[in-house]
């Protein structure tokens, strides 16, 4: 009888540990990412899912599929490298009084600045001026001269606490999620120089 009780105890303990590991991997609460107009995506622990997306964060990498396109990214505190839709990705990262992300993401130029109040810059052919709000950002974007106001992008506060490389990748993915097309691969030299975005939506090039 004692052996049976001991064996049952080990089985229950093993099931409890497996359950705890599963809960850790799924991460408890699920947070929305981006804008449902592109694809409604949820971040839950290490997993990012949507109707046509299934991605996994593993320490310093992000792999899977985004809107049925293959994604394979890895990061350090200084850069994000890899590919999106089989196109090269290279983002440089800098963090101080603000956070800077610039380079190329799946062939699209990226130049973003995040400070305590604003997220502004460019992804692909669109410029963004977004202000922090509850669970994300609100503001406007301009694509090819067409101005879109009252834009809301989901990026809840817990995602801001993730490591810089992961945060930069998710933030870029958030904006790419409702950029409908990828531009051809372009030279990074054109986009490597930092730029300042004004609150009125205009962009001022920083002198070398």
Quick one: tokens of 188? Answer: 């990074």
pLDDT recorded at residue 169? 94
Alpha carbon 183 to chain centroid, angstroms: 19
pLDDT, tens digit only, all 208 positions of the chain = 444 433 343 333 333 333 333 333 455 899 999 876 778 899 999 999 999 899 999 989 999 999 889 999 999 999 999 999 989 999 999 999 999 999 999 989 999 999 999 999 999 888 999 999 988 999 999 988 778 888 899 999 999 999 999 999 999 988 887 654 433 333 222 333 334 445 444 444 433 3
Quick one: tokens of 73? Answer: 């990214």
DSSP assignment string, the chain? -HHHHHHHHHHHHHHHHHHHHHHHHHTSS-EEEB-TTT--EEEETTEEEETTEEEEE-SSEEEEEETTEEEEEEE-SSEEEEEETTEEEEEEEEESSSEEEEEEETTEEEEEEE-SSEEEEEETTEEEEEEEETTEEEEEEEETTEEEEEEEEE--HHHHTS-HHHHHHHHHHHHHTT--SPPPP--GGGT-S-EEE-TTS-EEEPP-
pTM of whole model > 0.85? Answer: no
Taking residue 201's Cβ as centre, other Cβ atoms within 10 Å add up to 16
Quick one: tokens of 12? Answer: 């229950």
Q: How many Å apart are CA 54 and CA 42, to the nearest integer?
A: 10
pLDDT recorded at residue 13? 35
The residue behind tokens 């052996």 is 3
pLDDT recorded at residue 148? 82
Delimit the domains of the chain by residue range. 2-205
pLDDT recorded at residue 19? 37
pLDDT recorded at residue 146? 79
pLDDT recorded at residue 34? 87
Alpha carbon 79 to chain centroid, angstroms: 14
């Amino acid at each position: 009888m004692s052996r049976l009780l001991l064996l049952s105890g080990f089985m229950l303990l093993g099931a409890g540990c497996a359950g705890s590991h599963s809960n850790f991997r799924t991460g408890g609460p699920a947070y929305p990412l981006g804008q449902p107009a592109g694809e409604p995506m949820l971040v839950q622990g290490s997993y990012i899912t949507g109707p046509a997306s299934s991605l996994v964060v593993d320490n310093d990498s992000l792999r899977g599929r985004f809107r049925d396109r293959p994604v394979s990214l890895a990061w350090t505190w200084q850069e994000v490298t890899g590919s999106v839709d089989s196109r090269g990705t290279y983002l440089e990262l800098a963090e101080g009084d603000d956070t800077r992300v610039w380079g190329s993401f799946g062939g699209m130029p990226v130049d973003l600045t995040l400070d305590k109040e604003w997220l502004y810059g460019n992804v692909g052919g669109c410029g963004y001026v977004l202000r922090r709000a509850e669970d994300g950002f609100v503001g406007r974007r301009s694509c090819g001269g067409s101005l879109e106001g009252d834009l809301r992008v989901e990026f809840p506060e817990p995602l801001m606490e993730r490591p810089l490389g992961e945060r930069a990748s998710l933030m870029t993915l958030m904006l790419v999620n409702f950029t409908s097309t990828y531009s051809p691969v372009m030279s990074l030299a054109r986009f490597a120089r930092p730029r300042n975005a004004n609150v009125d939506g205009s962009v001022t090039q920083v002198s070398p």
